[in-house]
Structures are given as structure tokens and as C-alpha cells.
Amino acid sequence: MILIYRKNYICHHSSHHKVDRTLNKKGQSKNTDCKASIKIVVKVDTVSTRKSDPFVKNNCLGMITISNTHNHNINTAEALRYLNPDIHLRKTFEEYFYDGMTISDALRYHESILTMSNTPIEDFANGRINPTYRCVQNWHDQWRVLNLGPRTGQGVIMKLEEKKQTYATNGISLYFQEEPFAILILTPIMKRAHDLPLSKDIVFVDSTSSCDPENHCITFLLTPCAAGAAPLGVIISKGQSEASYSSGFNLIKQNVKNAFSGQGYPSLFLTDNSDAEINALKIVWPQSRSLLCIFHVLQSVWRWLWDSKNNIKKEDRTSMMHAFRKMLYAQTYEEAQEKYVETMNIRSNYPMWQKYITVHHWKYKENWCLAWRDHTNRGHQTNNFSEVSVRIFKENVLGRLKAYNNFQMKEILLLNYNEEFYVPSEKNKKMMYCVEPNIGVCSCEAGIHGQFCKHQCIIYKYFKTTGINFPPITVEDKYLISKLALGDRAPPPTFYEIECNKEVSIENNMKIDKPIVDTFKEDMDKKKSFFILKNIHSIMINNVTKFGSSYDSLLKFKSRLEKIKSEGQFNTFLATAGSKSTLLRQRDGAAIRVQPTTISRRKPGMTRGSKRLPSGRPASTDHNHQKKKPRNVFKNVTDCVPNAKSH
């Protein structure tokens, strides 16, 4: 038999190209050895076939054979789940992946679209409309290899070279080197952040790993500004060794022309206690100083006290920690030396404690003790900005999933500046604080380290003098922040002027009896009032037609309107008409009680009575639920509990 076309359609639960059901170890098998099929045959119409085949002779060239006997259910959710999705649905999910969604995010987003489009509930079980997790995972694996390349090897470098030009068209610069492996990412906002004035003074550096299968190290460089912290660059390196860090930092030094406000290096780096990171910074930028975040110093001491191998009794830990904290916050060299002696002698029966303080901390006191810091810190003693950036990166970007001062400034030095102010102390009127706004320094405890204090605020309030540590209060400050965020699309500086009531020259022949804005507002209010009045008129006609009304009731309503003689009476009439019969808010009725056993089954944090559980954001007064441990070293030391991690 000569055929033009032949096609066999089999049930997807057949044994064709499937492992035997008994050998499937991964999960539920799709193989039920179903024999249902559809066979389609189209025969050739020739002289010989018309003689040999009676169907062809009668012009019946096509034959369809249907075997519709399935050995499984076909109208259940389980059967619908195995239906194969089409190419259009796959392209839809690939668009989700391009938007940065993970597999779970894409599935949830797709289901939300189905819900908003009023899709029948049965279609949620249909694999052709709502694919399974395993199906989407397979699509994601293929899409990832095609667009992101392999996890390791030379293919990663090739994919970076391929994408480099694409990133450049969007203003993103990508620099990398193979050995040791390091990548520098510079977005447009990062490039503009290097023009910020404080980028040459202080930079926060923090690293994190465990963000991909090979545990590459991701390093964030940030600088403070009026809007918080602005990123200067993101570095991805092979590991957390000194060579890996140096490789990434050199990429900034070699490729960023106006690095750190054109200075080429910042005056200070604020880091955590990572020797490899600090040494790499010294190698690449030897002119800069590296200071330690005091939070990480306190946290490391508290962890050392809680380490069981050091054999520190629990009742001694708090007093030892408080002694170290007083040493850290000392304001003068003499006070720091005095607190050091007290820290060493507070628990003389712990020789390991004395060795730990001397070798690991006091030897490097210039890096963490506040007595050796000055105003150049600009009030930043911790790298909380970078901690927050790392946390946002891990939680919001990755979704918690692995992805592919030398000495203290003396008061006498402030007298050498041109412009200085003296502000009396709020508690002791005989004490005067010296404020130098040009360099952002005050002789008070907070201002001596460059932090914005209330004495500097007084100078601005009475003398209109601003300093470099002030919040963004001037037009130039606001324009600078806008330019950082928007670039060339930032509005001109005049857009940020606060004074809107500046005098405008008006021609002599123009006569303005009333402010233009007030007149415009009155006209708009009248138009709205007449519009509402028309609606009231139509509602009244509809209600009279629908419910009926006595002639006497309408006369009373008309007579009350005629008795109104003032604006106040009219507004009161409008606001109270029908207030006794039709309430805008219904009064609460009797509560519907619940079963006594229901309360005992409720989870902690829920109401213990019969009130409705409020929806939305929980009330600030509801403190029944157990709170997370605060990330506060001082509180945890006082409570004598281990400190919480930030990210």
C-alpha cells in the first residue's frame, strides 16, 4: 500500500520512550502502558490503487483509526497535570526569566495572572495552562545555559565577552580579568557616585559570599551622601583571599578615571575585621587609612566571651564586655589607657582574656578606639550602610537563594579657622562648644567625630550658615542627589527652590483684585458643587419615583430650605439632613461568640476573644507574638545573650 501521509498519535501515558513504572525511583510515574491511540493514513490515488483498494475507488483516500480505550482516568486533576504545554507558554515563562524571576517567582506570578483573568478553577490543574514545577525547572535550566552560559570554565568568560557590548549600550561598564578571576560592575549611578564630594573622604567596604554554587565573593564599595549610601562599584572575585581582593580593587584603580571625586583614592576605608581585605586595600591604595567598624569589634569580643573553649563563666561575661566597651568609647588617649588597665584587671583569673585583649585588640587600637579618631570620619563609626546593602542584595535581589581619626582634635586647633561659632551647653551654661561649620566639626562629644549635632543646627537656625555634614537643605544639595539618581534626566536646580512666593514684576496697566490661585480654586469648587447638585436632583427624582412621597413631606423639606438665612445654617443642613434615619456608619451589634475550644487552638499572636482578626499590617500595639532577637550589641550584652546576625 502506497501512502502519502502516515501519522500515529499515542497517549502520553503510554510506555513509548519511558522507563518502566517499577524502575521509576524519582517520583510518580507517567507510564501506565496505555494503548489508546489515533492513526491517520492518506493513500495515493492512482489507477492501480483504485483497482486494488475499494476505498480509493470510492474517493475515500483518508483513514482515521481511533482507539479510545484508556487504562487511566482522563478527567481528573492528576490527568490534566501531565498535559504538555505548548511553545507559546514556554516563551511566556522565558520572558519571566528575562525579568529576573526565579522558578518559584515565575510560577506564583503566572498563577496570579490566571486568577485575575477569572480562569476556571479546573484550569489551574491543567499542565498545558499552568505548568508543573518540574516543567518550568527544565525550561529554566535550558534558558540559563543559553543566556548565562555554564557555571564554570571558559564558557563563563566567553559569555562575559558576549554580553559586554550589550551592557555598554545601556551605560553599564563591565571589566574583568581571568587570573585571578575578578569582575568589576559599574552602573551609571555608580559612575555618578564617584563625583560625590564625600567619596574622596570615606568609603565603606563589605563582602559576602555563599551567593552562588562556587561561593564567589561579592564586595560592595559605598560612600555616604544625603540620601544614605551611594554605591561606587560591585566586585565579584574568586574568593576572599588577599590576591582575589587585590585583583578586584585594581580594576577600579585602572578603569575608573574620576575615581573617588578625582582624587584617585579615599582618605578612609571603613571595613570589618578581615585581614585579607585590609591588606589588599593597603596594597592598591597605600595613601588611604583603614579603620574598623566598631560594631564588628564589639561583636567579635562578645562572641569570644561566649565561645565555650575560652571557659568564661556566664556571670562574668557582661562585666568584661562593659569594660571593653568603655575602653572603645574613650575620648582621650589617657582615658583609653586607663580603661585598658581596668579591662585587664577586671577578671585577672582569666589569663586568656588578658592575652586576647592585648594581642588581638590593644595592639591595633588606632584602628578601632575612638580616642584615635577625628572629624574625618564624618560621624560614621560603623559600616551599617554596607550591612544594609548586603542584606538587601541577599533578600530582595537573590530572594535568599543561591544565584547563579589618628588622634583626637583638640579644641585649641579650632581657633585657627576663619569662621567659628560658640554655642552654650544646654545643661551647663558656663560651658561653650566651638563649632566650625566649614569642616563640619563641633567640640561636643558627637561633633568631634564629624557627626551632625544640635549645636551645628543652632548655627544654621540663627546665622543661616551650613556645613558639609548638614542634611540636604540647600538647592545645590537637592540637585546633587537628583543628579546622582537621575543623571542627565534630572530637573534643573530651579526645580528644587523652596520659595514659591517670590515677587513677580507685573505691568502697570494690569489690575489684580484677587489672587489668581484663590480665584481658580473658587471656580473649581463651584463647578464641583453644581455637578453634585445635579446628581442630588436626579437621585431625588429617582427616589420619589421608586419609594413614593407624601405631599406634606415635600412641603416640610421646602419650608426648611426657605428658612436658611446664613452660610453656616446651609452647611449644617447639608451635613445633618437625614442623619437620624440613615447613618453613614453602622453601629456594632452584638458579638458572635466562638466555641470555647477555638481559643485554645489559636496560634500565638492572635486575639483571645471573639473579635474579628484585623487584616493588613499588624497593629503596633499588638505585642503577643514573639519578637526576633534585636541586632543590638549593648542590649544583648546587658541581657547576657548571644548577638544576632544581620545577614
Across the range 296-315, mean pLDDT stands at: 87
Q: Grid coordinates representing 40?
A: 491517520
Distance CA 165, CA 167 (A): 5
CA gap 258, 273 in Å, rounded: 29
- Angle in degrees, 0-180, between the axes of helices 333-345 and 314-328, rounded to the nearest 10: 170
Average pLDDT (203-209) is 83
Closest CA to 42 of 17, 22, 63, 25: 63
pLDDT range class, residue 41, cuts 50, 70, 90: very high
Residue 434 CB partners (closer than 8 Å, separation 6+): 411, 414, 415, 420, 421, 422, 442, 443
State the average pLDDT over residues 283-287.
90
d(CA 484, CA 488): 9
The amino acid sitting at 618 is P
pLDDT beyond 90 at 466: no
Q: Is the pLDDT of residue 221 over 60?
A: yes
Chain segment 134-154, per-residue pLDDT in tens: 899 999 989 888 887 776 666
Q: What are 234's three cell numbers?
A: 560591585
| pLDDT greater at residue 527 or residue 325 | 325
The residue with cell 537656625 is 461
Most confident of the ranges 263-267, 369-373, 479-483: 263-267
366: Cβ contacts below 8 Å, ≥ 6 apart: 372, 406
Length of the chain: 647
Has residue 211 got a pLDDT over 90?
no
Dist. CA 102–CA 96, nearest whole Å:
8
Average pLDDT over residues 555-573: 77
> Residue 552 is inside which H or E element, if any?
helix 551-562
Nearest to 82 by CA among 11, 8, 23, 140: 11
Q: Tell me 258's DSSP state.
A: T
| pLDDT of 496 | 64
Burial state string for 587-602 with b = 16 or more CB within 10 A and e = fewer than 16: eeeeeeeeeeeeeeee
Q: What is the per-residue DSSP string for 53-71?
A: -HHHHTT--EEEEEE---S
Q: Which residue has the cell 574568593?
A: 239
pLDDT beyond 80 at 254? yes
User: In the predicted model, is pLDDT for residue 402 greater than 60?
Assistant: no
* pLDDT number for residue 107: 93
Q: Locate the domains of the chain by residue range.
A: 3-74, 78-148, 154-293+384-409, 295-381, 418-497
CB–CB of 292/284 below 8 Å? no
User: What whole-number distance in Å separates Cα of residue 430 and Cα of residue 436?
Assistant: 20
**Which range, 124-138, 340-354, 429-443, is most confident?**
124-138
**Best mean pLDDT range from 130-144, 221-235, 454-468, 471-485:** 130-144
* Residue of 30, 1, 2 whose CA lies nearest to 16: 30
pLDDT at 588 over 50: no
Its pTM stands at: 0.53
Between the alpha carbon of residue 48 and those of residues 42, 43, 119, 624, the distances in Å are 16, 12, 54, 90
- β-bridge pairing 217-225 and 289-292: unpaired
DSSP at 284: H
| Neighbouring C-alpha atoms within 13 Å toward the C-beta of 449 | 17
Name the pLDDT band for 367 (thresholds 50, 70, 90).
confident
- Torsion angles phi and psi, residue 149, rounded to 5: 80, -175
pLDDT on residue 39: 93
Alpha-carbon distances, residue 13 vs 8, 81, 127, 132 (angstroms)? 15, 12, 14, 16
Closest CA to 33 of 69, 81, 76, 87: 69
The arrangement of secondary structure in 154-293+384-409, i.e. its CATH architecture, is 2-Layer Sandwich (3.30)
Confidence grade of residue 59 (pLDDT, cut at 50, 70, 90):
confident
CA atoms within 13 A on the CB side of 569: 7
Is the pLDDT at 66 greater than 90? The verdict is yes
**Residues in contact with 123: Cβ distance below 8 Å, sequence separation at least 6, in sequence order:** 114, 129, 130
Q: What is the pLDDT of residue 611?
A: 64
**pLDDT value of residue 108:** 92
Encode pLDDT of 99-134 as tens digits: 878 898 899 999 999 998 888 888 888 889 999 998
Mean pLDDT of the residues in the chain:
76
Of 332-346, 465-479, 499-513, minimum mean pLDDT range:
499-513
Q: What is the DSSP string of 429-481?
A: TT-EEEEETTTTEESSTTGGGT---HHHHHHHHHH----TTS-S-SHHHHHHH
pLDDT at 579: 60
Write the CA distances from 530 to 37, 277, 407, integer angstroms.
72, 71, 73
Please tell me what DSSP assigns to residue 179.
T
* Segment 291-311 mean pLDDT: 86
Inter-residue contact 93 to 107 (CB < 8 Å): no
> Does residue 127 come out as left (phi exceeding 0), alpha (psi in the -120 to 50 range) or beta?
alpha
What does the alpha-carbon distance between residue 375 and residue 452 come to, in Å, rounded to a whole number? Answer: 10
Give the orientation angle of helix 133-148 with respect to helix 103-116, to 10 degrees: 120
Residue 504: pLDDT over 60: no
d(CA 26, CA 45): 50
**pLDDT average, residue stretch 240-257:** 88
- Determine the average pLDDT of the residues in 42-49: 88
Q: How confident is the model at residue 500 (pLDDT cuts 50, 70, 90)?
A: very low
The percentage of the chain sitting over the pLDDT mark of 90, rounded to a whole number, equals 8
